[in-house]
């Protein structure tokens, strides 16, 4: 294996960077548990975690008996969407409607996106950025139209001053 060149960013380095940026500030409570996911090549797992008590409140996975018979391949987008629907059902039964989404170091793309969209359709209210909490979006005030500025006419510099243009007819070139 060749060493990593300075200008190359290895995929594991990118993954570590995403993990540190995503993981900071995500904490699940009983009212709004953390929705953590894990994906492998063959399966997709998700669970709702109360970090204050250290308990898993609900979970769904492609290895569940309820889903295993209906899924041909547990590692594809369709399977992730089914897990999202199932987790939403289990969460509703447990009385959970609001969650903080912890995508770990995975990009919000493909299976992760399909899972999140299916869970949201199933009735889970996602908080994607926990640092902003549940603040309503700011309403922007309409800006007043700017007043048109009146351009002032510049006075011509006095004749003979540097930068002054000669007044009157243009001098004709001498013909010989």
pLDDT score recorded for residue 85:
94
For residue 92, the model assigns a pLDDT of 93
pLDDT at 51: 87
What is the rounded CA–CA span in Å between residue 132 and residue 127?
Answer: 9
Instruction: Say what the pTM is.
Output: 0.63
Q: Give me the phi and psi of 44, to 5 degrees please.
A: -135, 130
Query: How high is the pLDDT of residue 138?
Result: 65
Tokens of 15: 């993954």
Q: What is the pLDDT of residues 2-48, one digit of tens each?
A: 676 655 667 777 777 766 665 566 777 788 898 999 999 999 999 99
For the chain, which ranges sit under pLDDT 50? none
Give me the pLDDT at residue 79, please: 93
Say which DSSP state 173 is in.
P
Distance, CA of 170 to chain centre: 66
Give the per-residue pLDDT at 101: 86
Q: Which residues lie closer than 8 Å to 99 by C-beta, 6 or more apart?
A: 28, 32, 33, 34, 35, 48, 91, 124, 125, 126, 127
CATH topology of domain 24-127: Nucleotidyltransferase; domain 5 (3.30.420)
Torsion 15-18-22-25 (CA) sign: positive
DSSP H or E stretch at residue 37:
strand 34-39
Residue 106, pLDDT score:
84
Q: What is the pLDDT of residue 132?
A: 59
3 state SS of 164: coil
């Amino acid at each position: 294996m060749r060493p990593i060149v300075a200008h190359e960013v290895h995929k594991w380095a990118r993954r570590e960077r995403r993990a540190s940026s995503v993981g900071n500030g995500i904490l699940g409570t009983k009212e709004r548990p953390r929705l953590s996911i894990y994906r492998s090549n063959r399966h997709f797992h998700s669970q709702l975690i109360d970090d204050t008590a250290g308990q898993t409140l609900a979970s769904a996975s492609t290895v569940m008996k309820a889903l295993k018979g209906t899924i041909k391949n547990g590692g594809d987008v369709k399977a992730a969407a089914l897990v999202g629907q199932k987790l939403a059902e289990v969460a509703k039964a447990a009385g959970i409607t609001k969650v903080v989404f912890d995508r770990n170091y995975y990009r919000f793309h493909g299976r992760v996106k399909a899972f999140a969209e299916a869970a949201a359709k199933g009735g889970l209210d996602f908080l994607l950025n926990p640092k902003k909490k549940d603040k309503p979006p700011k309403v922007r005030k309409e800006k007043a139209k700017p007043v048109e500025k009146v351009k002032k006419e510049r006075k011509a510099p006095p004749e003979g001053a540097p930068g002054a243009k000669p007044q009157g007819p243009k001098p004709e070139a001498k013909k010989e």
